[in-house]
Amino acid sequence: MKHRIVVLGAGYAGAYTAGYLARQLHCDDFEITVVNAEPDFVERLRLHQLAAGHELPHRPLAEVFAGTDIRLRVAKVTGVDADARTVTVTDNAGVDRLEYDTLLYTLGSTAADHDVPGVAEHAFHVAARPAALRLRARLDELGETGRVLVIGGNLTAIEAATEIAEAHPALRVGLATSGELGGWLGPKARRHLLRAFDRFGITVHEHTRIERVTAAGASAADGTVFAADATVWAAGFAVHPIAAASGLAVEPNGQITVDRQMRSVSHPNVYAAGDSVFVLGENGHPLPMSCASAGFTGTQAAATIIGDLTGRGIKASALPYVGNHISLGRKDGIFQLVDEDARAKPGALRGRSAARVKSAIVATSAWAISRPTFGKPNHRYRSAGSRADSRETATA
């Protein structure tokens, strides 16, 4: 029987790692199945653009994985039993259970509601394509009038607010954050950020903790009420609860606990990458949930899986955290570098140059994921078992 590798999720971490495994592992010995809720590869980094009204490239996973021998299963993952080595999925045909020998968990994250009442019922977010499309439809309904309130002070909140304000200049856009907007940035980068918000006419409410979201807006802890026709919740991310319910060892926030090589510390036949994994970077701090972290952890997970299954040495991949790319609409941006302690360096790339750099990085990532074998499937490595069988046959 072939060794069954199941990859859960086909985002930046899952799609890249699955393609790399298909390129390196011999198809006679390994069977790779990718399970994803959507039939397309979704550029999550650009979902704020989709919500604002821009079109994104269509990247069907069936085309992405064509010629790789990867089996694509379009279904929603509803459960994992790490002890039984099974995954429960649901699609239009009903409920099914997949068995695996090796599991790569890359289900990513979703918007974190922080138990704030009303978020699930009344707020929009841009952490998934269906949610971004719902926000897009709502913004289109508002037309030339209306108020939009973005809640959060992180990169997603900043990008969503500026993208919406640029694409819909007639809307009144505001942002409420519990801290200081861009407080983690260096002084030059923060000044640039505030100038951009002034240019777009975005009203900023700092040190404002939102404690409830309603159909008509949101209310803060100090009693202030913010009227809004669309409230966008962008106050951080949370991992899906599936891992915590699976029997895998997880951190208090639900991320999977792994060793330096991305193996689950409780189930060594399970690997994790992307937002789903808790791992310390080169600077000793946990890697943030990001596309960059997905690439670094996915690269390490792939190297480890190949090494464990073929008996080859496992190379340690770097896990750096170099800084933040922030888009401020389509023609402006910030690239803030950080030091070894994850603190902002004094200087930063700003303006059109920063926007071009981010656009190039995002485009390159999508291009590479869309070409998992680069047109030349290698399928080089045999399983450790098949290589041992070959040696026994040769000496018999």
Q: What are 231-279's pLDDT values in tens digits?
A: 999 999 999 999 999 999 999 999 999 999 999 999 999 999 999 999 9
How far is Cα 300 from Cα 320, in angstroms, rounded to an integer? 12
Write out pLDDT tens, residues 171-193.
999 999 999 999 999 999 999 99
Q: Model confidence over 19-35: pLDDT tens digits?
A: 999 999 999 999 999 99
Mean pLDDT confidence for 42-51: 95
| d(C-alpha 21, C-alpha 102), whole Å | 12
Six-digit token pair at 311? 């008996």
Please report where in the chains the tokens 């690239």 appear, as a residue. 335
Please determine whether the domains at 3-108+240-321 and 111-233 fall in the same fold group of CATH: yes
Question: Please, are residues 265 and 257 in contact by the beta-carbon 8 Å criterion?
Answer: yes
Q: Is the dihedral of CA 161, 162, 163, 164 positive or negative?
A: positive
User: How far is residue 10's CA from residue 71's CA, in Å, rounded to a whole number?
Assistant: 12
DSSP run (H or E) holding 303 = helix 291-310
Assign domain 3-108+240-321 to its CATH superfamily: FAD/NAD(P)-binding domain (3.50.50.60)
The C-alpha atoms of residue 228 and residue 218 are separated, in whole angstroms, by 7
How many CB atoms are located within 10 Å of the residue 364 CB? Answer: 10
More confident residue, 396 or 123: 123
Q: What percent of the chain has pLDDT over 70?
A: 95
* Stated pTM of the model: 0.92
Contacts of 140 (CB under 8 A, 6+ apart): 53
Say if residue 308's pLDDT is above 50: yes
pLDDT computed for residue 388 by the predictor:
46
Sheet holding 147-151, edge to edge: 203-205, 172-176, 147-151, 230-233
| Mean pLDDT (the chain, rounded) | 93
Protein fold of 111-233: FAD/NAD(P)-binding domain (3.50.50)
User: Which residue from 259, 349, 366 is spatially nearest to 10, judged by alpha carbons?
Assistant: 366
Q: In the structure encoding, which two tokens stand for residue 119, read together?
A: 């978020």
Q: What is the pLDDT of residues 342-379, one digit of tens each?
A: 889 988 999 999 999 999 988 988 888 888 776 556 66
Q: Give the integer Cα–Cα distance in Å for 123 and 149.
A: 10
The domain limits of the chain are 3-108+240-321, 111-233
- So what's the pLDDT on residue 277? 96
Which residue's structure tokens are 């106050």? 235
Contact 19, 68 (CB under 8 A): yes
**Whether the predicted pLDDT of 325 surpasses 80:** yes
Give me the mean pLDDT over the 77-90 stretch.
98
pLDDT band of residue 384 (cuts 50, 70, 90) is confident
Report H helices in 25-154.
47-52, 61-64, 119-122, 129-142
**Tokens 């397309």, located at residue:** 40
Residue 201 carries which DSSP code? T
Q: For residues 132 and 129, give the distance between their C-alpha atoms in angstroms, rounded to a whole number.
A: 5
